[in-house]
Structure 1
Amino acid sequence: MLNLTLAAIAFVAAHFLISSTGLRPRLVVRLGERGYAGLFSAQALALIGWMAMAFRAAPRDQVLWMLPGVVHLTLTLMPVILLLAIGGIAAPNPSAVMMAAPDRAWQPKGILTVTRHPVMWAFGLWALLHILANGDLAGLIFFGAFAVLALAGTLAIDAKKRRSWAPESWQAFSASTSNLPFLAIAQKRTRFDWRGIGWKTLAIAAALYLAIVFWLHPRIIGAPLL
């Protein structure tokens, strides 16, 4: 369990200590934006690999809770999570790496009307559901690292853009979007843009969901869902 804990700490710390501090701009100057992105992605994948191997080797007998119906809850919410992820990857997002700041006339489209950080929320919700579904200490450490990184990462990204963008860019971005999903819609600062999400995104998310349930999860993860 110590190996898993160290891997989880290293995974979270590496992201925040590099991308949210003065180290990032110094690396960008020396490596270039694309060089930095490549190096950052490589270290992230290496740390995820370390965590995954440590998770597989960790004892699973330290059960913390057993919640009835949590698998059904996960199966019900995963299509929404996949829609957030696929829609977030497809939608041009000003807060993404190497994207230009928005101008005053900018308005959110597609999944960005739900949240300005759809991919981060997808990972965060996925991790939280898997914490509940596993119910043991190893699962809490492994998936908790993803949950902390994703959900705290939304706040870190907002803080970074607020500092680095021109005030009018941040105002245009934050006034019409929300970090918390559906908050801007509930406050009538924007309207849900289903047409911007589109049937293609929905079809990809549905196909991926079926692939995960019937093939990927039982055959690769080794845990049947049905």
Structure 2
Amino acid sequence: MGMLILGLILFLGIHSTRIVAEGWRTAMIARLGAGVWKALYTLVSLAGLALVVWGFGLARQEPVALWWPPYFLRYVMWLLTLLAFVLLAAAYVPRNAIKARLHHPMVLGVQLWALAHLLVNGNLAHVVLFGSFLLWAVLSFRAARQRDRAHAHAVTYPAGSALATLVTVVAGSVVWVMVAFWAHGLLMDIRPV
């Protein structure tokens, strides 16, 4: 469990600089330069992610059950993860109505993804992993919305078009099908569908 927690601290910690240390982050970028900052950010992120994957694999070998989720929650998980993938796509497809309305769809997608996994996994490693991501995503969304309000004159989100929104929904749905029916089993050795 220690490796998982260390990985989460590194990965979510570096991704939390805008939440808890915006001034420090800005000063570091000014001091080091944007390229060096991005390189360090990437290295810490990759190291954290590697430790999360390794630590989670180790923790899954000795599961500590906290509760036994009812089977019907799998259907709720499928719906929430489908919505999460659509929100993830909305972060990248230009001029879609989802991003125009929600402004920060990626962290909302992470919230749904983490919540969905918490609903169907009742062991300690899952609670630590997905609970950490859920908490981070809630705080990240709140901080992003506060930044938007503080800079309301400078932050604009273009109106979405119907075609871009359709592309967003289709792309997110296709990726969800690929992950749910194939990639999740290949990568995690767990077949959710």
What stretches of structure 2 of length at least 5 have no aligned partner? none
Distance of 1:133 and 1:204 partners within structure 2: 25
Aligned to 1:168: 153
Aligned pair count?
Answer: 190
Query: Is 1:71–1:133's contact at 8 Å kept on the other side of the alignment?
Result: yes
- Normalising by structure 2, what TM-score? 0.83
List structure 1 runs of 4+ shifted beyond 6 angstroms.
Answer: none
- 1:54 shift after superposition: 0.7
Kindly provide the CA deviation profile for residues 157-201 of structure 1, in whole angstroms up to 9, marking residues without a partner as x: 2333444x3x5336x67xx9xxxxxxxxxxxxxx9x560533322
Matches within 5 A, 1:155-194: 155-163=142-150, 165=151, 168-169=153-154, 193=160
- Structure 1 CA distance, aligned partners of 2:104 and 2:149? 15
Aligned-residue identity in percent:
22
| From 211, 217, 225, the counterpart of 2:178 | 211
Alignment of 1:29-48 (within 5 A): 29-48=30-49
Unaligned runs of 5+ in 1: 93-108, 177-190
Counterparts of residues 105-144 of structure 1 (less than 5 Å): 110-144=97-131
Q: 1:162 to 1:40 in 2, by over 3 A?
A: farther
Determine whether 1:2 maps to 2:5.
no
CA deviation string 1:100-124 (max 9, x = no partner): xxxxxxxxx5212441110010011
C-alpha root-mean-square deviation of aligned residues, in Å? 2.6
Decide whether the 8 Å contact of 2:11 with 2:47 is kept in 1: no
The answer to whether structure 1 residue 51 and structure 2 residue 52 are counterparts is yes
Q: Is the 8 A contact 2:107 2:138 kept in 1?
A: yes
Q: Distance in 2 between matches of 1:110 and 1:39?
A: 34
Residue by residue over 1:55-87, the C-alpha shift from the partner in whole angstroms, topping out at 9 and shown as x without a partner, is: 110121323342231111111232221111111
> In proportion to residue count, which structure has more helix?
2
CA distance in structure 2 between the aligned counterparts of 1:35 and 1:153, rounded to whole angstroms: 23
Give the structure-1-normalised TM-score: 0.72
1:66 corresponds, among 65, 69, 79, to 69
